[in-house]
Structure 1
Amino acid sequence: MRILLILFICLPIFSLGQDSVATKKKGNLSGQWRTYYMMTANKDDLKDFNALATGGKLKYQYDILDNLELGAALYNTTNLGLQNLTVPDNTTGRISRYEEGLFDRLNLSNDAVFLLGELYVKYKLNQHAFTLGRMKINTPLINPEDGRMIPTLVQGFWYNYKASKSTFQLGLLNEIAPRSTGQFYGIGESIGTYPVGRNKGGNASQYSDNSESDYILMFNADFEIAKNLKLNVWNQYVDNVFNSIYIKPSLKISESVQIEGEWLHLNKIGDGGNSLDSLRYFNQNTADVLGLKIAYKKKGGLVSLAYNRILPQGQFLSPREWGREDLFSFQKRERSEGSADNHALVLNYKNEFEILKEDLNLTSILSIGKHWKPAVTNAVLNKYAMPDYTHINLDIFFYIKKLKHFKPELLLTSKIGNGDIPDNPNFYFNKVDMFHVDVILNYNF
């Protein structure tokens, strides 16, 4: 690691010497400075949480040749000490769910986390691109998830082919740095660094540090079948654990209306992570998620209505460590993962408007969702004991014209428990009947 850090520091110095004798700029320094405030107000006397972090990313890209690039990025988050997050709630004995994610959630006593998250070589040839090393990728089930200070990053090989109306990708990954951690882990090691929930017997799952998997193989094809009809297909093969195939067709009915569907099918591979039932991550045969979304676009605005159904025969499982779930019904600050026999209906309204002429523009996204869950006492269908809930998000992005590099964001979240929830604080704490605020100050350069 020391050698890698020295390389990261020396690259800009090396580039200065090169650029002085070359007419074409070979090096590019970019990054982001982010300051992030997060607050959760829980029900009644359950503990509230606050956290403030600052840090960001410093990235350097250097063109060794016209079609050969070397890149490195150093990520940091620093705890400004607003609250001691290691002190649990008195009633449940649990700590924060969201605020700890601003730092290294596996070592909250570490106030300053540094991670060499990207270190890669990229070769481009016409429409082909080959990348080897540590990198950031964005797929439906492995993605950066930008709602924290340090995103999810991966290590391995990635191939991309892009034509005018189609894209093909192939990836082989051998390590993952889960978001909100300070290091890379083997594929099996990374599963279970986030909360593990319950097994089907209702006891705490034990797959953390017990999942055996060496690699992930991914494939993607995104292409046009006919005029206005597109198909996006992903396949994710997780060695000895599970396979996911994701199919999303989209039909453009008019300039304003589009309909999309999605089907996610999962099936066990090998031992499902471990030969012992009690230590197994994917302890079922299959699972299926179906979705439908209709969107209407007008000048400055977009309205969509989405529905997702997780069928009863198996829980939708996708390691939370690997990013957010890119399903139609996804809403920031909650997931459907870990559920079976689940319904979700979500209305989104996105609008862009000018507040101060020539000075300030806003983009707002209002998201209202109703999520029907199996009973919290049913561990077979509800891994994380999540109650029925109504979820309301208001996400506001600020564009200040005179400060074009400054990108503030405000997220307001409320989750309201529905139905007959047992009188147990563990079914409410950090889950429902709560209010959550994010204030994010991004400066991109």
Structure 2
Amino acid sequence: MKRLLTIITLTVSASNLSAQDTYFGEISGQWRTYYMATWNKDDLKDFHTLATGGKLKYEYDFKEKPLKVGGAIYTSVNVGIQDLTIPDAATGKVSRYELGMYDVQNPSDRLILFPGELYVNYAEHGHELTFGRMKFVSPFLNPEDGRMIPTLEQGIAYKYTNEQLGKVQFGIFNQIAARSSDGFYSIGETIGIYPVGRNPDGKPSGYAGNTDSDFLLTGNLDLNLTPTVGISVWDYYVEKVFNALYIKPEWEVGAGWTISGEWLHQRRVGDGGNAVDSLRYFTDEKANVFGLEITRKLTENSTLSIGYDRIADAGRFLFPREWGREFLFSFQKRERSEGSANSHAVLLTYNQSFTFGDGKLRSIASVGRHWKPELADAAANKYAQPDYTHFNLDLFYTHQKLIGLKPELLLVYKMGNGTIPDNPNFYLNKVDMFQINFVVNYNF
């Protein structure tokens, strides 16, 4: 608590300094309060938590030069409305979602506080180079907004942007502050912070703390081939573990229609993280995901889209959950396709914005049908996830006179499909569950 009071004091002092004529840099940040609750099936344990915290950022702009230096402190405080270290009696498992607001490796620690950003940035004539600790945004490695502290990276990132041609990016990172952790760790150490599931032979995976990888390389090329056709290519090379190539073409057909495709191809690098089979992260030789999405712009304020993804049966799609969301066409908040092979998913999404007075409400309603392999097939169903239908309603509110205030309400229901064995491990935090997320963000 003393550290938290120190941050507040520094914020007030820095704000007073920046109000003077002399330039002392810029202070910004976010105060974030997050309530999350999950109701599980029948007598299985329900979980809820209330977190508060956010970030305090300072940046100095060398006005005469295209150079900036900055840093940000991130914090998450568990208010303590429920003891999340007490597991469900039937399964012996603790919360899957609520603990992710804090340090999942130390669930009794109610405070996270660390310098998440500390960088030098050079930007001129479309070129931008950043060195240090930063936020990095990509389809699979990204900040992600479903927890208190985002995923952050340490390394070097370069980006060149041309409005007519597109964009090219490169990055090399040697440490990651994975969401739901208390700071920066090596690439290999961050793989396995979240539950590890099963090896292909059905035994518990042992890669947590046993994955050998010192750096991550990223590359990106976004090309505007024509005014209506573009393609985005991303590559992720995780040293000694795997390589992932992601290609997404997009075509604006006309009359409000857009057609997009996606292909994710993964292959194992070296021993997949460890020479011992039982301790290996990337177990298969390769994996492939294929997707198609059709979007129709109905009005200026509404769109309707349908997306489909197929994970081939050659190997499990694996990408560390700790590193952010997977922006596949079938992705919905509060569940993942990662860990599956030989599966299908269809997602229908309706996006609508409403304006009333000085306020604006954006709603995203989605329903997804997800077909998973047999629960006993550990080689194709790493986390023993049953077939399910997933309903989400996400609401975002903004107000012209309260610019910094940005509340969000996310409602989630996941319904199990088909015949599911009467085993609580197949239900707890997986299916036949309802969840509410209420977030109040104040940006300053």
TM normalised by structure 1 equals 0.94
Q: Write out per-residue CA displacement over residues 85-112 of structure 1, whole angstroms, 9 at most, x where no aligned residue.
A: 0000000000000000111111121111
The answer to whether the 8 A contact 1:29-1:59 is kept is yes
Quote the residue 2:417 is aligned against.
418
Does the residue aligned with 2:396 lie in a helix, a strand or coil? strand
Quote the residue 1:45 is aligned against.
43
In 2, the alpha carbon distance for the partners of 1:444 and 1:75 equals: 14
Quote the residue 1:290 is aligned against.
290
Q: Alpha carbons of 1:406 and 1:16: their partners in 2 closer, same or farther (altered >3 Å)?
A: closer
1:275 aligns with 2:275: yes
Does the residue aligned with 2:254 lie in a helix, a strand or coil? coil
In 1, the alpha carbon distance for the partners of 2:12 and 2:273 equals: 43
Does the residue aligned with 2:225 lie in a helix, a strand or coil? strand
Quote the residue 2:3 is aligned against.
none
Does the residue aligned with 2:189 lie in a helix, a strand or coil? helix
The answer to whether the 8 A contact 1:12-1:60 is kept is no
Q: Please state how far the C-alpha of 1:417 moved relative to its aligned partner.
A: 0.2
Q: Please state how far the C-alpha of 1:313 moved relative to its aligned partner.
A: 0.6
Q: Please state how far the C-alpha of 1:63 moved relative to its aligned partner.
A: 1.4
Q: Alpha carbons of 1:96 and 1:138: their partners in 2 closer, same or farther (altered >3 Å)?
A: same
Q: Please state how far the C-alpha of 1:333 moved relative to its aligned partner.
A: 0.2
In 1, the alpha carbon distance for the partners of 2:53 and 2:328 equals: 30
The answer to whether the 8 A contact 1:170-1:220 is kept is yes
TM normalised by structure 2 equals 0.95
In 2, the alpha carbon distance for the partners of 1:399 and 1:143 equals: 24
Quote the residue 1:307 is aligned against.
308
Matched AA of 2:203: N
The answer to whether the 8 A contact 1:59-1:71 is kept is yes
Q: Please state how far the C-alpha of 1:29 moved relative to its aligned partner.
A: 0.9
The answer to whether the 8 A contact 1:141-1:322 is kept is yes
Structure 2 residue runs without a partner (length 5+): 1-5
Q: Alpha carbons of 1:157 and 1:16: their partners in 2 closer, same or farther (altered >3 Å)?
A: farther
1:225 aligns with 2:225: yes
The answer to whether the 8 A contact 1:117-1:134 is kept is yes
In 2, the alpha carbon distance for the partners of 1:237 and 1:121 equals: 24
The answer to whether the 8 A contact 1:15-1:62 is kept is no
Q: CA RMSD in A?
A: 2.0
Quote the residue 1:179 is aligned against.
179
1:237 aligns with 2:237: yes
Quote the residue 2:99 is aligned against.
100
In 2, the alpha carbon distance for the partners of 1:228 and 1:341 equals: 33
Quote the residue 1:3 is aligned against.
none
- Once the two structures are superposed, the pairs formed by residues 297-376 of structure 1 within 5 Å of their partners are 297=297, 298-354=299-355, 357-376=356-375
Q: Which of 54, 57, 65 in structure 2 is aligned with 1:56? A: 54
Q: Please state how far the C-alpha of 1:54 moved relative to its aligned partner.
A: 0.5
Q: Please state how far the C-alpha of 1:12 moved relative to its aligned partner.
A: 10
In 1, the alpha carbon distance for the partners of 2:270 and 2:57 equals: 39
- Once the two structures are superposed, the pairs formed by residues 85-96 of structure 1 within 5 Å of their partners are 85-96=84-95
The answer to whether the 8 A contact 1:38-1:51 is kept is yes
Q: Please state how far the C-alpha of 1:14 moved relative to its aligned partner.
A: 9.2
In 1, the alpha carbon distance for the partners of 2:402 and 2:105 equals: 36
1:36 aligns with 2:64: no
In 2, the alpha carbon distance for the partners of 1:291 and 1:178 equals: 27
